[in-house]
Structure 1
Amino acid sequence: MNSEDVFINCPFSDDYDQHFKAIIFTVIRSGFIPRCAREDDDGGDVRFEKICRIIAESKYGIHDISKTELDEASGLPRFNMPFELGLFLGAKKYAPEQVAKKAIIFDRAAYRYQQFISDIAGQDIHAHEGDIRRLIIDIAAWLRRASRRKTVPGGQVIADEFDNFARDLPIMIEAKQLSLVDLTYADDVGLMTEWLAQKNQ
């Protein structure tokens, strides 16, 4: 288990994309390595096995279970986020070498989760209300507290930096002959790392 790795379990939908990018940015800016199911695109890698491997390698986990709307095509909800949260908590509970894992869990509103996943009623759930800035602030504070690293900046600073990164992103991707729709998870991580390195020169 790597003390630098942070497993990100959140919706991958278009309407959550900016929140997802904010989480990645906050993790990198705080001095950690973001990990998620999108980091590899290997058709020979079974997705469940990949998720289990990433969870086993990650000391920290960020879980957003706020996406509970019914899918328009199927009329059913998507259960990936609660499922991956269960895997993470199960690893912490039943594997002695995983007991040091730490997690932060988000929902859209306080106590809403009790209507669809009441088994985690004893957990400390954070409500971000869909606000990206609040999401960043809570994650930064949690990483600083959970890791006991004094080098993790305050969330307000990171939120301001993320706004600046988002402003500069179109210029950066144009220089690389890319567009927003072309960007992969690896592109996002690379661009954020590059922007932060230039900022700190």
Structure 2
Amino acid sequence: MKMITECGLSIHDISRVQLDRDSKLPRFNMPLELGADLGLRLEGPARQRDRNILILDTESHRYDKTLSDISGMDIEAHGDEVGKIIKHVRDWLNANRAASVPVLPGATAIRADHDAYLRIVPDIIAELRLDPHDDLPHGDYLHVVELALPLIEQPAPDTPVAEDATG
């Protein structure tokens, strides 16, 4: 709740409701967090009523069967495709950025950065002797991302560097 109330933007992917292999029960964290967010937007303090919320799901209108109370809201379908997820999130964040914030890189560039991250992260994890990427606790994950970002942002060795006007 603290994270939700501190930010005017929220993204909720309600597609992960598969049954757990061990318990045979679905996890409801995402729909619960979406409900809390919508409650703040609809009935919370005045400063919470201007919240912008992006809701993602695997298929269009699949939520009608399980969360019919959100019918009529714009929900973006991604088909479990990373490229579509990146495009939806990028376009939404860009549309909701402050006027003083520069335009975000396009979805193709962000996808390339994501692919670069996935290529370099195994070496970072191995060097730090951490658990596999998908099993990292949040703090370790953020540390790995922090170490990876400068490596992703470096120009590729074949990228020509523009010379200044003096030659």
TM-score, normalized by the shorter chain, greater than 0.5: yes
User: Do the aligned partners of residues 154 and 77 (structure 1) sit closer, same or farther apart at CA in structure 2, a change above 3 Å counting?
Assistant: same
Q: CA deviation at 1:114?
A: 0.6
Q: Which has the higher contact order (CA 8 A, sep 6+)?
A: 1
Q: Quick check: 1:157 aligned with 2:109?
A: yes
Pick closer, same or farther for the CA change 1:151–1:189 going to 2, 3 Å.
farther
In 2, the alpha carbon distance for the partners of 1:184 and 1:83 equals: 21
Equivalent residue number for residue 166 of structure 1: 118
Spell out, residue by residue over 1:147-187, the C-alpha distance to the aligned partner (whole angstroms, 9 max, x if none).
14334211111111111110111111122222416622112
Indicate the percent of aligned positions where both proteins have the same amino acid.
34
Identify, as 1 or 2, the structure richer in strand: 1
SS in 1 for 2:96: helix
Q: Which of these residues, 97, 116, 123, is aligned with residue 73 of structure 2?
A: 123
Q: In structure 2, the residue corresponding to 1:191 is in which secondary structure?
A: helix
CA distance in 2, matches of 1:142, 1:192: 22
The equivalent residue for 1:196 is: 149
CA RMSD, Structure 1 to Structure 2 (Å): 1.9
User: Is 1:68 the counterpart of 2:20 in the alignment?
Assistant: no
Structure 1 residue 69: Cα displacement: 2.7
Deviations 1:2-46 (A, max 9, x none): xxxxxxxxxxxxxxxxxxxxxxxxxxxxxxxxxxxxxxxxxxxxx
Q: Which runs of 5+ in 1 are unaligned?
A: 1-51
Mapped contact 2:116–2:152 kept (Cα < 8 A)? no
TM-score, normalising length: structure 1: 0.68
Q: CA deviation at 1:80?
A: 2.1
Query: Which consecutive unaligned segments of at least 5 residues does structure 2 have?
Result: 155-167
Count of equivalent residues: 150
Q: TM-score, normalised by structure 2?
A: 0.80
